[in-house]
């Protein structure tokens, strides 16, 4: 059987090499750019692309034993209470996307993109 020090060293090597070749994530909740293609219809009669912003990252969450009043109210089924926050869009802005429609014809379309992000209560309807 391997010693605890050997196991710890193996885990450390795995953790360090696992991240090689990938960019280190930025901690917290922040804006992240991504390229979006916009089409006027399913056939792509008019289309264009734009760099939009999304909110990505992580927020703090915790779980702890429920208070006695919560236990009683839940019939002793809710013994752990959790508090979770999700990285969400807190502000939007409109951006104009130029669409090429074939030939020299162009159209302009407005789309929404994230302007600001924040950690907020997780809501199923957002995801």
Q: pLDDT value at position 13?
A: 31
Q: pLDDT value at position 8?
A: 28
Rounded mean pLDDT of the chain? 79
The answer to whether the CB of 59 falls within 8 A of the CB of 119 is yes
Of 3.90.1170.50, 2.10.90.10, 3.10.580.10, 3.30.1780.10, the CATH number of 25-126 is 2.10.90.10
For residue 56, the cross-strand partners are 30
Mean pLDDT of 42-46: 83
d(CA 4, CA 87): 38
What is the C-alpha end-to-end distance of the chain, expressed in Å? Answer: 46
Q: What is the DSSP letter of 103?
A: T
Residue 118's pLDDT band (cuts 50, 70, 90): very high
Model's pTM, two decimal places?
Answer: 0.61
Q: What whole-number percentage of the chain has pLDDT above 90?
A: 50
Mean pLDDT of 78-92: 91
Tell whether the model's pLDDT for residue 114 goes beyond 60.
yes
Tell whether the model's pLDDT for residue 123 goes beyond 80.
no
In the chain, where the domains are located: 25-126
d(CA 14, CA 20): 10
């Amino acid at each position: 059987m391997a010693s605890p020090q050997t196991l710890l060293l193996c885990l450390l090597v795995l953790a360090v090499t696992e991240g090689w070749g990938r960019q280190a994530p930025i901690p917290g909740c922040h804006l992240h750019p991504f390229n979006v293609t916009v089409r006027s219809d399913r056939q792509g009669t008019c289309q264009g692309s734009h760099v939009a912003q999304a909110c990505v990252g992580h927020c703090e969450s915790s779980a702890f034993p429920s208070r006695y009043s919560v236990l009683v109210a839940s019939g002793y089924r809710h013994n752990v209470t959790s508090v979770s926050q999700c990285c969400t869009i807190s502000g939007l802005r409109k951006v104009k996307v130029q669409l090429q429609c074939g030939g020299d014809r162009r159209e302009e379309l407005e789309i929404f993109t994230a302007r600001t992000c924040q950690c907020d209560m997780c809501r199923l309807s957002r995801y």
